[in-house]
Chain A
């Protein structure tokens, strides 16, 4: 009895507030937009009995998904989200790896402090961390002032409201997600492995390629997924740092919903976004599981 309550309470909560809402999204994605409240048709009316349920289902269709394929805005948004996510994940890896490596090689008594310094931004508001870059990247911002002062450029660069600003914002906010798994992989690595590699004739660089990188592979994979998956659906960064040319699917969904009030299309966009995410999520899960099994 007690066991039943223990399972039922969180279970029912999640069914009611996670699963059912999701089914509703699916259903609305198959409905038609209408000038009504709520603005979509058909509405399910259970009081009408079996017949009305049947007509309800017969009126559902894939029209919205069809619409998504005809308007190339959506195609472009999906592709550009993928491209931005891929590129910024690579950038984050290139920036994050040396930091994680430096941390893992630092003196042991320093490591907890360094770790805390990486985690600290986690607890700071995401919005504020993105906002901080607005002042730096704007035309009169500190970066431009600095570059002008150096004499590298003669007139201010336009960085804010371009994709470049989006990349910077993503790398900055998601950096801890990349550093932490790589650090934990590198920290576990035995220093004597590198000594053994050098003893067997490797140069320092080739020891790094042949020993360090393969041993931190799982950390790299985990870090990449941890950045890639949330970036795909990112909304705050493209809307604050990106420009009108920055197409990301999270932003499109938001605008479809709040500006166009086209709920069915917004839902269809959400469904497709999820379908795109399913593959990396499954790959990520499998990687995690493999790692758990390897660790016993």
Chain B
């Protein structure tokens, strides 16, 4: 029995209205013809046009994308290795420190992570720019990747790896041919998470960047500090649109796969 009452219906309606109303308003006002963002003056796409002609935004977007792709890819490799170490390597000296360093960045305030990395980069005399942001982003997002991947590895049937060894694989072949294909969905979601975290990050990037590299969040932040601007509304709409399409597509694909698998399993048990 599901106790679906008017109370639940109200809670859900109000709750989701609260979650989505601000974003919907943002999207609507991005098509506002008026420069005054609070007064509706008819439909227009002019702000999108201005956005696309704004060199600064475009180059910031390009920097952000570069940083996100590089850092999330390195973070996925390192994070998967770290997850494997956490779940499979057994005991080694410094294990506690290792797992501490994996989990600490997840709860560390961004201002501290940013500050400490900046002080390191200055200390070793590394020029701040794209490279330093990539290093910083990789460090904190690899921890997220390793949490995602290790939660998959924990439920991974270890006898699959043993079977691969038993059938003549070296440990590395066993990982490449058996473990990796099976945990691939978790590795991909780890990459996506790292990618989004990097795209989204303002604080750590502000600390670790130099004059040569301005990321989109830094650009947006310095623009919105002065107040609401229609160009930022347009930019936000584009970003919300990309995310929405991405998330809905991904969930449709996984849902379809689950449905197909369930149907095939039912078919398999039916006597031929």
Contact = CB atoms under 8 A, between A and B. Distances in A.
A and B, direct touch (CB closer than 8 Å): yes
Interface of A: 2-3, 6-7, 9-11, 13-15, 17-22, 24-25, 28, 38, 95-96, 98-99, 101-103, 105-108, 112, 114, 116-121, 123-129, 131-136, 138, 140-142, 145, 172, 175, 191, 194-195, 229-230, 232-236, 239-240, 250, 253-254, 257, 263, 266-267, 270, 273-274, 277, 281, 284-285
A25 B97 CA distance: 19
B25 A136 contact: yes
Contacts of B78: 9-10, 13
B196 interface: yes
Nearest to B224: A131
Which of A10, A101, A120, A263 has the largest count of B CB atoms less than 10 A from its CB?
A10
Interface string B84-128: 110001001010011001111101111110011101101100000
Contact of A124 (B4, B115, B239): B239
A172 B16 CA distance: 11
Given A10-B85, A263-B119, A236 B203 contact: yes
Contacts of B9: 102
Contacts of B240: 124, 128
Contact of A117 (B19, B135, B199): B19
Interface of B: 1-5, 7-9, 11-12, 15-16, 18-20, 22-23, 25-26, 29, 37-39, 78-79, 81-82, 84-85, 89, 92, 94, 97-98, 101-105, 107-112, 115-117, 119-120, 122-123, 135-136, 138-139, 142, 146, 171-172, 196, 199-200, 202-203, 207, 217, 220-221, 224-225, 227-228, 232-233, 236, 239-240, 243-244, 246-248, 251, 255
Nearest to A230: B109
A38 B15 CA distance: 49
12 contacts: A6-B84, A14-B82, A17-B136, A21-B120, A99-B15, A102-B9, A107-B4, A123-B243, A127-B221, A132-B236, A136-B25, A194-B3
A95 B122 CA distance: 44
Contact of B98 (A14, A195, A263, A284): A14
B72 to A, nearest CB: 14
Contacts of A267: 115, 119
B98 A6 contact: no
Contacts of B115: 25, 253, 257, 266-267, 270
B31 to A, nearest CB: 14
B94 A233 contact: no
B220 A233 contact: no
Nearest to A26: B116
Contacts of B251: 112, 116
A41 B225 CA distance: 34
A257 B203 CA distance: 13
Given A24-B119, A233-B112, A102 B1 contact: no
**The 7 A-B residue pairs with the shortest CB-CB distance in the complex, in nearest-first order:** A233-B109, A99-B15, A21-B116, A98-B11, A132-B22, A102-B8, A10-B82
